[in-house]
């Protein structure tokens, strides 16, 4: 039975929440309220604090405890919304921490909550943790939602055998009788490079009277595009218009535009993008992002700038993700001046200095030969953010390696190596080979030894690197140390 009094207030000194229901129900319970003993004046919304954790550091649990101890109310609905938003922006660890905080306080979980928890575990702690969580759920919690979540995990990890086996189990339990399960399997086949398997699945859905959703039609179109059958992709759109017009939305036209852009049918792509704009709402940020990226794909800078200005007019605050999309578009269009203007605008207005954006700028400036701009961007990133900086340092290393300025390349490699923990980064094997080939050509034994010593410090000295080191000794006419002795150093 669902609890009749889920909104009991618990003081900050006591448990912040207690179990409101002992048996899971498919129905969302009434509002769950957690609050401290007293209230203070209204403060910024909870989500604002949680979303800032990526830049400020800290845990979601500490943030929630602090929020409650300030005398503010936290509702189950608000927590669920925060989790949804954090997942949307790929902040999976903090979303999981909220769910753990809720579980520790015995907050009621619906079947959808269990499914979300399972998905977050897979994304943050790995598939084995998600499987353990599923296996330890009570029989009543193993529902269509949790089975579907596990299926999604298998499909995302491209585990075809496990996914198909679970799909069969779900089918036997009548849990595969919706478009969601089929969409997961279709997505799996697309990722595995088997687009020819998608149309038969759509036919199977039709035979079983399972109505496809918008995503089904979109991936069906993509499968034909991957098979280089543009006419068939267009026929899918015509079928959608005729038989399920209510399922047609702006994502349908964005997918069609992607098909045309990849086929370099730019005029058709632009027509699809105009239809996209007709279908989208004026306040759908994702639609603007797709428009910017796809117009960039058609090499139309004017349209990119038009949509960018429309986006900024539609939203009072331009978020980092929007700038990220715009910067990628400007780089792809090789618009150096436009990039500079937009980058300066972002730096002067951003609330949090996102290193993903500074990394795009560094990569662009290095590619354009604007080394001083790249260096100043890195210096500003170090001052204004907490990193990580090894991706940017790797870019500088690669740049100087290509220019055969080995001393500079080594310097940036050492800086990157000094920053990483738990093997977060190693130079790519082809970079290691490039370094050692340079030392071999220059007969520079000392440089090769120094390089290999850096590699060894973070476990990157493999047999291939060691063999190339031996070739450097041979090229220099030097006798190499004993192999076993050298490997053990």
Q: What pLDDT, in 10s, does the model give residues 10-32?
A: 223 232 333 223 233 333 333 34
Predicted TM-score (pTM) of this structure? 0.77
**Is residue 431 within 8 Å of 397, Cβ to Cβ?**
yes
* HSE toward the beta carbon, residue 213, CA cutoff 13 A: 10
* pLDDT for 482: 58
Q: Which candidate, 177, 131, 187, places its Cα nearest to that of 156?
A: 187
- 351-410 pLDDT, tens per residue? 889 999 999 999 999 999 999 999 999 999 999 998 899 999 999 999 999 999 999 999
Which residues partner with 34 through β-bridges? 74
The pLDDT of 31-37, averaged and rounded, is 40
Nearest-CA neighbor of 183 among 218, 159, 134?
218
Name the strand (E) or helix (H) holding 193.
none
DSSP secondary structure letter of residue 140: G
pLDDT band (50, 70, 90) for residue 44: very low
* Cα–Cα distance measured from residue 445 to residue 328, given in angstroms and rounded to the nearest whole number: 41
Which backbone phi and psi does 34 adopt, to 5 degrees? -125, 130
Asked if the peptide bond before residue 429 counts as cis, ω within 30 degrees of 0, the response is no
Helix (H) or strand (E) holding 477, with range, is none
Percent with pLDDT over 70 in the chain? 89
Burial of 172 (0-12, 13-18, 19+ CB in 10 A): exposed
Please enumerate in sequence order all residues whose Cβ is within 8 A of that of 181, keeping only pairs 6 or more positions apart, or say none.
148, 151, 167, 170, 171, 175
Largest CA-CA distance found in the chain, in angstroms, rounded: 86
Q: Is the peptide bond before 388 cis (omega within 30 degrees of 0)?
A: yes
What does the pLDDT read at residue 55? Answer: 66
141 versus 421: the higher-pLDDT residue is: 141
Evaluate if residue 253 carries a pLDDT over 60: yes
Rounded to an integer, what distance in angstroms lies between the CA atom of residue 389 and that of residue 392? 5
- Find where tokens 């015995």 sit: 106
pLDDT over 80 (residue 37): no
Rg of the Cα atoms in the chain: 27
Give the angle subtended at the CA of 61 by the CAs of 56 and 63, to the nearest 5°.
45
Instruction: Look at 52-56, 116-120, 164-168 and tell me which has the smallest mean pLDDT.
Output: 52-56
**Residue 33 host element (H or E):** strand 33-34
Q: Would you say the C-alpha torsion 167, 169, 175, 177 has a positive or negative sign?
A: positive
What 3-state class would DSSP assign to 91?
Answer: coil
**Coil, strand or helix: which one is 74?**
strand
Encode pLDDT of 48-64 as tens digits.
Answer: 888 888 766 788 988 89
In whole angstroms, give the CA distance from residue 489 to residue 486.
Answer: 5
Count the Cβ atoms, other than its own, within 10 Å of residue 38. Answer: 9
392's CB contacts (< 8 A; 6+ apart) are: 355, 358, 359, 362, 378, 381
Pairwise CA distance, residues 83 & 113, whole Å: 10
Q: How confident is the model at residue 138 (pLDDT cuts 50, 70, 90)?
A: very high
pLDDT range class, residue 9, cuts 50, 70, 90? very low
For the cut 60, the answer to whether the pLDDT of residue 487 exceeds it is no
C-alpha 291 chain-centroid distance: 19
Q: What is the mean pLDDT of the chain?
A: 87
């Amino acid at each position: 039975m669902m609890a009749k009094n889920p909104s009991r207030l618990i003081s900050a000194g006591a448990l912040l929440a207690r179990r409101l229901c002992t048996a899971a129900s498919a129905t969302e319970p009434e509002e769950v309220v957690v609050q401290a003993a007293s209230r203070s004046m209204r403060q910024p919304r909870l989500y604002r604090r949680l979303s800032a954790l990526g830049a400020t550091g800290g845990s979601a649990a500490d943030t929630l405890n602090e929020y409650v101890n300030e005398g503010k109310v936290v509702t189950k609905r608000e927590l669920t919304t925060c989790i949804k938003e954090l997942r949307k922006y790929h902040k999976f660890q903090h979303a999981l921490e909220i769910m753990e905080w809720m579980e520790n306080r015995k907050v009621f979980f619906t079947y959808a909550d269990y499914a979300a928890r399972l998905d977050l575990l897979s994304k943050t702690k790995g598939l084995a943790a998600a499987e353990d969580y599923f296996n330890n759920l009570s029989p009543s919690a193993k529902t269509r939602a949790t089975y579907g979540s596990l299926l999604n995990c298998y499909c995302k990890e491209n585990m075809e055998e496990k996914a198909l086996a679970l799909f069969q189990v779900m089918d036997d339990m009548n849990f595969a009788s919706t478009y969601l399960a089929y969409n997961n399997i279709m997505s799996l086949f697309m990722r595995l490079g088997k687009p020819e398997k998608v149309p038969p699945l759509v036919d199977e859905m039709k035979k079983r009277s399972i109505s496809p959703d918008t995503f089904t039609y979109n991936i069906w179109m993509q499968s034909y595009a991957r098979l280089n059958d543009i006419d068939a992709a267009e026929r899918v759109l015509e079928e959608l218009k005729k038989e399920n017009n209510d399922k047609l939305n702006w994502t349908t036209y964005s997918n069609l535009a992607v098909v045309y852009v990849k086929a370099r049918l730019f005029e058709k792509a632009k027509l699809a993008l105009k239809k996209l704009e007709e279908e989208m709402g004026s306040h759908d940020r994702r639609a603007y992002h797709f428009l910017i990226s796809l117009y960039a794909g058609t090499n139309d800078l004017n349209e990119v700038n038009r949509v960018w200005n429309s986006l900024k007019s539609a939203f009072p605050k331009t978020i980092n993700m929007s700038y990220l999309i715009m910067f990628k578009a400007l780089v792809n269009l090789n618009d150096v001046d436009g990039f500079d203007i937009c980058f300066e605008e972002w730096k002067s207005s951003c609330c949090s200095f996102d290193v993903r954006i500074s990394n795009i700028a560094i990569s662009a400036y290095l590619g354009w030969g604007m080394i001083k701009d790249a260096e100043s961007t890195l210096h500003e990133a170090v001052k204004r953010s907490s990193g990580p900086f090894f991706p940017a340092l790797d870019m500088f290393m690669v740049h100087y390696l290509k220019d055969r300025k080995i001393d500079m390349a080594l310097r940036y490699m050492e800086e990157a190596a000094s920053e990483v923990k738990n093997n977060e980064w190693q130079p790519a094997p082809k970079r290691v080979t490039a370094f050692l080939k340079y030392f071999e050509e220059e007969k520079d034994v000392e440089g090769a030894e120094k390089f290999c010593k850096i590699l060894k410090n973070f476990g990157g000295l493999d047999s291939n690197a060691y063999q190339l080191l031996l070739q450097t000794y041979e090229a220099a006419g030097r006798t190499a140390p004993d192999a076993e002795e050298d490997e053990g150093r």
